[in-house]
Amino acid sequence: MLLVMLSGSVGCRNSTTAPSMFPPFTTRNVPLPAPVPWSNIPTYTEQTYEIHAKVGEEFAIGMFATMQINFGESNDQSFINEEDDQMVPYQHSSLNMYGTEWFMFKAIKKGVTEIYFNYPIEYTKVFKISIN
């Protein structure tokens, strides 16, 4: 049996680059997210496609993940800054190998951009971010 492992994150793309080999707007049927590690910021999950933020505003995105493998994340850092990334495990015993990987971002410039998440090989998720 041959096993091939790919690593790294999906690079930022713009409208002039070739499309990804994965469908960009995919969702999975996953449990509700584990608790958010930060308070008083808007939160989104992988069922979200578009996020609206204001310059200077922080927001968080939660992605369902196993505790052993983290998501790769990529964004245009001229529009969005990743402030923090924390894995929060589920407390229920049937989900003890899983958690929510929370990413906190800060909008830093007006415009439209995207955030790409990839989970090794099988899953890619794109969020459209509109910043006012």
* C-alpha distances out from residue 49 to 19, 46, 84, Å: 17, 7, 21
| CATH of residue 73 | 2.60.40.2020
Bridge partners (DSSP) of residue 111 are 131
Q: Which amino acid is at 19?
A: P
| Domain total of the chain | 1
Whether residue 116 contacts residue 75, with contact meaning beta carbons closer than 8 Å, is answered with yes
What is the C-alpha end-to-end distance of the chain, expressed in Å?
51
Does 100 fall in a domain? Answer: yes
Does 86 fall in a domain? Answer: yes
Q: pLDDT digit of tens for each residue in the chain (132 aa)?
A: 333 333 333 333 333 344 444 445 567 888 999 999 999 999 999 889 999 999 999 999 999 998 888 888 999 999 999 999 999 999 988 888 999 999 999 999 999 999 999 987 678 899 999 999
Domain that holds residue 64: 43-131
Could you tell me the pTM of the whole model?
0.78
The confidence score (pLDDT) of residue 123 equals 83
Does 109 fall in a domain? Answer: yes
Does 48 fall in a domain? Answer: yes
Helices (H) and strands (E) in the chain, counts: 0, 8
The confidence score (pLDDT) of residue 105 equals 98
